[in-house]
């Protein structure tokens, strides 16, 4: 966990009314957008538990959609996003449900466009969020660091190949998390890094054999 | 620096104020200059002023319709009848309501430390600064001082109603506000920490039981109440009225009280005001409207 700083106490500058239900929702949407890399054609949100029950009064739906459309937590357009021009070219829907196994402020995000993507995440408090799942893989993406995400064929040596590449670029790894659905099938790697990654490295990794998917997700500014 | 005792000792032995220690520490942690730290704080300060100036002009209700026109009402009243406590008191009440109403109508605010408690620090800091012409730089000093108080409290207690009740949101905001006012008035390190201790001590046990689960009732009106509360603490402290319990220990007490508080009274809206007859009626109305 990153330590709370002076800055955290006197920020963020945000659209109200709730850091977890409004700002957190915007950040979840925004992280999803950064992972997907473009504006989707359509998006289906499923809101769980407290998000489902008190979301409307807190503008949670507006926040999620605004985030997917690329707005930041302090953007005044969030309030009227449903009527905004930005939202004209995207289909969106919301479902509400209870599930005690899920976090009180959880959301699933099903994106469709160039490709399909399924994401789920939680708003864990004070505006902090975590994306927990991308398609079938468990991840933990908080938006606090720059992240490199990979999906690849599960086989020996992949981790060292990738970390070697990063080392060559002088990049320090803050945190590394792997997951796989079954031995020898697909595996995922989420690497939190200090510093910035040149897009060339992303391309190199994408062209490595047995890499199916790579995306670089920059940390959230606000 | 993880405790107020450490902060105090550091300030005394290095002959520094709290804001100096805090801004240097932040600069070091983020690997930026003190000037950049102050620029960040300046942004928050500007956003606080913006929230007040738009909030004070609006009487738009929140999505639930529960709140949003109280700042308007009090201004109307003060136009006819001035407060018996003077214009500074009027301003603090108005600014606190303006900010927290801006929050619930999806306006732009600064979570300080949280969105629900966003009206407390700006209302006192800016009303007092306007009244006594404190410079922009002095206002930044005061906001950093407030932030440092919140930062050290947050090491022991998460500043969230769901974790420790409203004592950890509006209560902490009032401790921060007391410190800011004390800093503006030229209080010593000791007086500033003492002001926070007095404010926090007097609000221990405050629960979080919002009606219909929304950050509106009792939150909006709690902001002006706790702003005034913090002024009392600052005044007592500059007169050297001492909190018998030091700030670190008050924070320990708050943490313990938060842990002992029933989860039903920690933002889950399962008890307290949320489940009064009227609270439930309001909630039903809101949910049926949808
Ligand atoms: S009552 Fe709860 S929701 Fe309202 S301001 Fe206090 S802690 Fe936040």
CATH number, position B188: 1.10.4100
Pocket test for ligand 1, best of B101, B170, B207, B217 (most atoms within 8 A of CB): B170
Percent of chain A at pLDDT > 70 equals: 99
pLDDT above 60: residue B290: no
pLDDT the model gives residue A200: 83
pLDDT above 80: residue A2: no
CB B103 within 8 A of CB B118: yes
DSSP string, A195-220: S---HHHHHHHHTSTTEEEEEEEPPP
Query: What mean pLDDT comes out for the span A179-194?
Result: 87
Percent of chain B at pLDDT > 90 equals: 97
What is the Cα–Cα distance from B89 to B77, expressed in whole angstroms? 14
pLDDT the model gives residue B289: 64
What is the Cα–Cα distance from A140 to A131, expressed in whole angstroms? 6
**In chain A, what are the domains?**
6-135 (3.30.1330.90), 146-217 (3.30.70.260)
| Alpha-carbon distance B61 to nearest alpha carbon in chain A (angstroms) | 12
B161 touches chain A (CB under 8 A): no
pLDDT the model gives residue A180: 86
Band of pLDDT at residue B193, cut at 50, 70 and 90: very high
CB A185 within 8 A of CB A138: no
Query: What mean pLDDT comes out for the span B164-168?
Result: 96
- DSSP 8-state class, residue B204: T
CB B182 within 8 A of CB B234: yes
Query: What mean pLDDT comes out for the span B234-247?
Result: 98
- Helices and strands, counts by H and E, chain A: 6, 11
Count the residues in chain A: 222
A105-114, A127-136, B72-81, B237-246: range with lowest mean pLDDT: A127-136
Query: What mean pLDDT comes out for the span A10-28?
Result: 96
User: Token match 């039981």: residue?
Assistant: B209
State how many domains chain B has. 1
B120 touches chain A (CB under 8 A): no
Domain enclosing residue B21, as ranges: 4-287
Can you tell me which atom of ligand 1 is nearest the CA of B160?
7
Judged by CB atoms closer than 8 Å, whether chains meet at B22 and A6 is answered as: yes
Band of pLDDT at residue A127, cut at 50, 70 and 90: confident
CB B200 within 8 A of CB B243: no
C-alpha of residue B219 to centroid of ligand 1, in Å:
5
């Amino acid at each position: 966990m990153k330590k709370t700083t002076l800055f955290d106490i006197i920020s963020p500058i945000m659209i109200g009314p709730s850091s977890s239900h409004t700002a957190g929702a915007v950040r979840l949407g925004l992280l999803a957008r950064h992972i997907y890399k473009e504006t989707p054609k359509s998006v289906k949100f499923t809101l769980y538990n407290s998000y489902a029950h008190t979301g409307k009064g807190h503008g949670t739906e507006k926040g999620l959609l605004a985030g997917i459309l690329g707005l930041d937590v302090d953007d005044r357009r969030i309030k009227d996003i449903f009527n905004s021009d930005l939202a004209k070219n995207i289909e969106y829907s919301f479902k509400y449900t209870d599930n005690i196994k899920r976090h009180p402020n959880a959301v699933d995000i099903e994106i469709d466009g160039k490709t399909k993507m399924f994401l789920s995440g939680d708003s864990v408090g004070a505006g902090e969020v975590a994306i927990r799942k991308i398609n079938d893989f468990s991840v933990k993406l908080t938006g606090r660091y720059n992240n490199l995400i990979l999906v690849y064929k599960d086989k020996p040596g992949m981790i060292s190949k990738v970390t070697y590449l990063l080392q060559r670029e002088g990049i320090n790894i803050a945190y590394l998390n792997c997951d796989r659905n079954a031995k020898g099938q697909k595996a995922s790697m989420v690497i939190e890094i200090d510093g910035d990654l040149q897009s060339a490295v992303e391309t190199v990794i994408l062209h490595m054999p047995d890499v199916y998917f790579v995306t670089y997700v920059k940390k959230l500014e606000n | 620096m993880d405790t107020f005792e450490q902060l105090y000792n550091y300030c005394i032995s290095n002959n520094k104020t709290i804001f100096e220690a805090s801004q240097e520490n932040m600069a070091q942690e983020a690997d930026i200059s003190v000037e950049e730290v102050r620029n960040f704080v300046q942004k928050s300060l500007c956003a606080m002023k913006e929230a007040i100036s738009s909030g004070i002009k609006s009487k738009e209700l929140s999505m639930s319709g529960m709140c949003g026109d109280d700042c308007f009402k009090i201004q109307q009243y003060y136009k006819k009848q001035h407060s018996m406590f003077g214009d500074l008191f009027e301003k603090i009440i108005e600014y606190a309501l303006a900010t927290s109403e801006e929050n619930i109508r999806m306006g732009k605010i600064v979570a300080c430390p949280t969105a629900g408690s966003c009206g407390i620090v700006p209302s006192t800091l800016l009303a007092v600064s306007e009244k006594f012409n404190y410079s922009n730089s002095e206002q930044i000093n005061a906001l950093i001082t407030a932030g440092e108080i919140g930062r050290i409290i947050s090491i022991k207690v998460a500043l969230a109603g769901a974790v420790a009740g409203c004592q950890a949101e509006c209560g902490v905001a009032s401790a921060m506000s007391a410190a800011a006012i004390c800093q503006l008035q030229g209080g010593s390190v000791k007086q500033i920490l003492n002001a926070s201790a007095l404010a926090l001590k007097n609000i221990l046990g405050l629960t979080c039981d919002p009606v219909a689960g929304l950050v509106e009732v009792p939150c909006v009106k709690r902001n002006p109440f706790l702003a005034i509360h913090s002024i009392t603490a600052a005044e007592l402290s500059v007169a050297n009225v001492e909190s018998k319990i030091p700030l670190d220990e008050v924070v320990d007490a708050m943490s313990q009280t938060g842990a002992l508080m029933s989860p039903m009274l920690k933002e889950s809206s399962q008890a307290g005001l949320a489940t009064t007859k009227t609270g439930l009626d309001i909630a039903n109305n809101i949910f049926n409207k949808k």
